[in-house]
A and B are shown apart, each in its own frame.
Chain A
Amino acid sequence: MRKSLENRTGAGYSFLAPAIIFYLVFFLFPVAFSFLTSFKRWNMLTPFINAPFIGFKNFLDLLRDDLFIMALRNTLFYAILTVSITLVLALFYAVMINKARFSVLWRFIYFAPVVTPQVAIATIWGYLYNPNSGLLNAILRAIGLKGLNWLTDPNVALFSVILTAVWAGLGGSMLIFTASLNNIPQEYYDAANLDGATGFKEFWNITLPLLKPTLLFLSATGLISAWQVFDLPYMLGRNAPAKSVITVSWYTYEIAFQDLKMGKASAGAFLLFIAIFIITLIVLRLFGKEGIEGYE
């Protein structure tokens, strides 16, 4: 037994070798570089070496900036709503479609938004959200309600972005749920059916627990990427007051490439990292006592 244990360590490291090398080069160096930058004032046009150190000023400026705080708030709101709504709908539809006829067709249709480039999504939904000629308001008016200013009303704009994000991300999560659902051996269901458990009971007692690793994965990765969202809010939210729709990634990107303050932007990126880290930790705790290792 000891021999096989040693074998596994060797294999463990060698299987990881490509990843280790990659992260050394393409991760540790850039992150170290950016970390250093966050303590400097650097406009990227003068040499990096000459950029002056200004201590924690970048971090303090951001934390005192009410727009940055609003960006954090908006991003948090966006992340929680988008991920939770997407997961619930994705699981629902994965289950619905898996046992339906023409499942390949349905999966294709639901996945269509995922293959669509962001710029096309923004264009399409820009039209849908048009207050006068857009489809959404047309429907609202048809049922007797008043149309909304989807993209310019500060109270609505962020929700519009969330709605589009859910639409765009549903298919991807659904696909992963589908793969996991098909991973569950039919024998489990057969045994349960013999005991009389069908339908909802079957779902709750067999399917859901076996999907825990997938749920964990989708929540964690969903939150991580939702926190970094940039394209959709940037493209859809340009005409709403910034405070109501700006996200952290958008703001830091602007600080970097419009204000030419790479130091401050890097500081923002690290503050964002801390926020994501904390939130992910919370979510992982929710999913099991031992966090990511626990999936039972």
Chain B
Amino acid sequence: MKKFFIPILIVFLLLTSMSFGSTKLVFTVHWADYQLDGIKDKEGNIVVKGLKQYVEEYMKTHPDVEIEVRSVAFDELLKKIIIDHTGGLPSDVYGLYSLWGVELVKSGILDEPPKDIQNAVRLLFVKPAVDGATINGRIWGVPTEIDNYALVYNKKLLAEAGFKKPPQKWVDLVNIASKLTKKNPDGSIAQYGFAFLAGWDSAVVHPYLALLYSNGGEFLSKDFKECLLDRKEAIEALDAELELFRKGATNTAASVYNFPNGTVAMMIMAPWYETDLKLGFKDKYQETVGVAPIPYLKKPATCGYTWFIGVDSASKNKKQAWDFIRWMTIQTMSNGATRMGELMAKNIGAIPPSRVNLDKFPNELNDLYTQTFVRELIHTIQEPNVAQGQEIKTALMREIVEAWNGRKTAEQALKDAKKKIDEILMENY
């Protein structure tokens, strides 16, 4: 034994000295100030934790790890990631929109998660979120946020016109919307029966995809080699939207941002609009706002999109990064929820995609607004994680907007969209 004592001591010392080096992780997200710093009361005490509080907690229990949180506005985040990369200074951990993830994986920028995390994602997260984190058949990160769309309607306006329940089928929606549209003396619309979300690619494309899926249609072929929007189901889905325009129930000047002031009766909306509605309707919120599944064409369906957290393949601290991610998103706290889930539900106001979290936050997830979105998760189909996803969606958005403006028929618009999208797909698959 004595012979081995010194070598063992040396090895022991070497091992312990290696773990003494402190690691620095850079974590880049797109959240606002209070989402990072926490929500405080008048005295400055933390009422709802922000990301930084969780990070501090982790650093206390892992003193050799230092985590720096950086935040860039959503519009700028992808650009920031790219420029950091070309400048040779990437972050270690990212909060990514799944379509960005596709581009990063294509270029080998993301690190493949450890097997245990991949398995955990497959088992513990809802299907659309798992699909969102899956690129080319493999899982590349842990989903942190899942969003989908539902019909948000003004109960009062509907009741005034005699409708006690929201429409279940699309044809009923068109009917109710036309009856709820009121005009000004000069012909412009004073009250809209319906308003479409617009202004960026997801806004226009996601609700359309919801209708497409509801009509039994497909966006792209399974191997991503072809765009399938020239098929009958796709054209019918767009025509369903155009019915609202044809019946005068909406037009391109309609804005969902007028819903909180009571001049829009119905809209297709996502979970992130809750605070605006509460602010707009104040104490009339409960009696005015209603949420229902999107009225379907053939079967209930809605479209979803996902955010996931991933690690850069050029990071020098991949193991520590994944350890932090595991602690934040997979490990549960004493109350059975994950920390990321708590941050999402209580602070960010989004739907945490891990099943264990869905019943832990009744105030946030089972309330008037969010509960329908959560219930609709089973009908949610994740948008396809296709390469050049945003370019494809923008091309589709432009054609849909042309159709909305009456400058193209549904068939022509989708034909043109398919042509452009097929070109893009050909470059990549």
Contacts and interface: CB of A to CB of B under 8 A. Distances in A.
A and B touch in the complex (CB under 8 A): yes
Interface of A: 43-46, 48, 67, 131-132, 137, 141, 146-147, 149, 152-154, 238-243, 254, 257-261
A270 to B, nearest CB: 20
Contact of B186 (A44, A147, A242, A257): A147
Interface string B386-411: 00101100100010011001010000
B109 A45 contact: yes
B104 interface: yes
B200 A238 contact: yes
Nearest to A150: B253
Contacts of A242: 398, 401
Contacts of B67: none
B142 to A, nearest CB: 21
B252 A152 contact: yes
Interface of B: 78-79, 82-83, 85-86, 103-104, 106-109, 186-190, 198-200, 251-253, 255, 258, 263, 388, 390-391, 394, 398, 401-402, 405, 407
Contacts of B186: 141, 146-147
B187 A241 contact: no
A257 B78 contact: yes
B188 A131 contact: yes
A254 B394 contact: yes
Given A45-B109, A241-B402, A241-B405, A259 B199 contact: no
Closest 3 CB pairs of A and B: A45-B107, A259-B391, A149-B253
Nearest to B80: A257
A79 to B, nearest CB: 23
A257 B388 contact: no
B158 to A, nearest CB: 20
B405 A44 contact: no
B82 A131 contact: no
Given A46-B108, A238-B200, A241-B402, 12 more contacts: A43-B103, A45-B103, A132-B190, A132-B258, A146-B187, A147-B186, A147-B188, A239-B255, A240-B252, A243-B398, A257-B79, A257-B82
Contacts of A43: 103, 106-107
Nearest to B408: A241
Contacts of A259: 388, 390-391, 394
A80 to B, nearest CB: 25
Q: Which of B86, B187, B198 has the most CB of A within 10 A?
A: B86
B199 A146 contact: no
A147 B391 CA distance: 35
Given A238-B199, A257-B78, A132 B390 contact: no
A241 B398 contact: yes
Given A146-B188, A241-B401, A241-B405, A258 B391 contact: yes
A155 to B, nearest CB: 10
Contact of A45 (B79, B104, B190): B104
Nearest to B192: A132
Contacts of B106: 43, 45
A257 B86 CA distance: 13
28 contacts: A43-B103, A43-B107, A45-B103, A45-B104, A46-B108, A67-B398, A131-B188, A131-B253, A132-B188, A132-B189, A132-B190, A132-B258, A132-B263, A146-B187, A147-B186, A149-B253, A152-B253, A153-B252, A154-B405, A238-B198, A240-B252, A241-B401, A241-B407, A243-B402, A254-B394, A257-B82, A258-B390, A260-B103
